[in-house]
Amino acid sequence: MNTQSAAAPLRVAIVGASGYSGGELLRLLAPGTGVHIAHVTAHTLAGKPVGEVHPILAGVVPLTFSSFKPEDFAGMDCVFVALPSGEAMEIVPALQGKVGRIIDLGGDFRLPTAEMYERYYKKPHTAPSLLGNAVYGLPELMREQIRSAELVANPGCYPTSAILALLPAIAAGLIDTRGIVINALSGVSGAGRSSSVELSFSEVNESIRAYKIGTHQHIPEIRTTLERVADMPVTLSFIPHLIPITRGIYTTVHADLKTDVSPETVAKTYADYYRNEPFVRVASRIPEIRSVLYTNYCDIAAFVEPHTGKLVVISVIDNLVKGAAGQAIQNMNIMFGFPEQHLLK
């Protein structure tokens, strides 16, 4: 195990630290116990102090953003890449060999093939040779592989919520893997910090809408991960919705139980599966987004719907923490031998 000593703090850098996920990384890493933020980049904001872009960090993170130059990262223990999908695959090859470990928060290394990436992300993959080397960074499923990984593909926010909702039922063989229905509602910060008319306050406020029905880039990520557990094909419908809140994801999953299963059996299956997971809380009550905001927790409750006999699972996370920066730090903790709760709550 690669355990950091108190005398040698982990040197970390963040590429794309001006965005929402990058800002969350800075907020969570700033306390600095065992970790030193050594370098931050934000190309269009190069030369600006961190505190001007993230006012909550003024006087807390005394760094200035710079442009990305691979040579500036030499000797870093861990680099977080918090860029929009399509950008990490252009810079990760330049970092390899210069830094210890890389954690990508975007979607460039989550899928198994370049063909699948191009189909859903609508652009060619420029570093396909790295796809087989990246470890999918869902600790509840891939913890042992994460420990020794050099490149971790941090899961998407929607997939984190959906996969965690389904893992126990699929691992136990309780449900039919065909025809799973996933409805997920996300706060506006999930779209990133770039401005657009459709994400403006007047367009989003007092409204709710679905989008990318059947075409969302997270569909193959959810499906291929569940197929790894089920060891059989999985078919699912994933419908994302935009809701007028800043942060949080509320996911509802419907699936057909293979046989008559009691609510008590379902509850025990979920409680047993996540018993030793520090950031998954299984409850009998219906979860709420406000219970997980600014935390790395995923709250889950599973029910047997009495009229149809279907399994219904509710899963809630903060999309910027467990769905992005918090999970990335959880992965860092696993990779470098820190307790998983280090710097998280």
pLDDT in tens, 72-85: 999 999 999 999 99
What's the pTM value of the predicted model, to 2 decimals?
0.95
Residue of 157, 289, 293, 325 marked active site: 157
If asked whether residues 170 and 295 sit together in one domain, one would say yes
Residue 297 lies in domain: 158-319
- Closest by CA to 107, choosing from 147, 143, 157, 146, is 157
If asked whether residues 116 and 177 sit together in one domain, one would say no
If asked whether residues 142 and 21 sit together in one domain, one would say yes
If asked whether residues 166 and 313 sit together in one domain, one would say yes
State residue 3's pLDDT score: 55
If asked whether residues 162 and 241 sit together in one domain, one would say yes
Residue 298 annotated to the active site: no
Residue with tokens 């699972």: 313
If asked whether residues 136 and 182 sit together in one domain, one would say no
Reduced 3-state DSSP string for 215-239: CCCCHHHHHHHHHHHHCCCCCEEEE
pLDDT in tens, 125-152: 999 999 989 999 999 999 999 999 999 9
- Closest by CA to 16, choosing from 24, 8, 28, 4, is 24
If asked whether residues 172 and 270 sit together in one domain, one would say yes
Alpha carbon of residue 146 to chain centroid:
14
Express as a percent the part of the chain with pLDDT over 70: 98
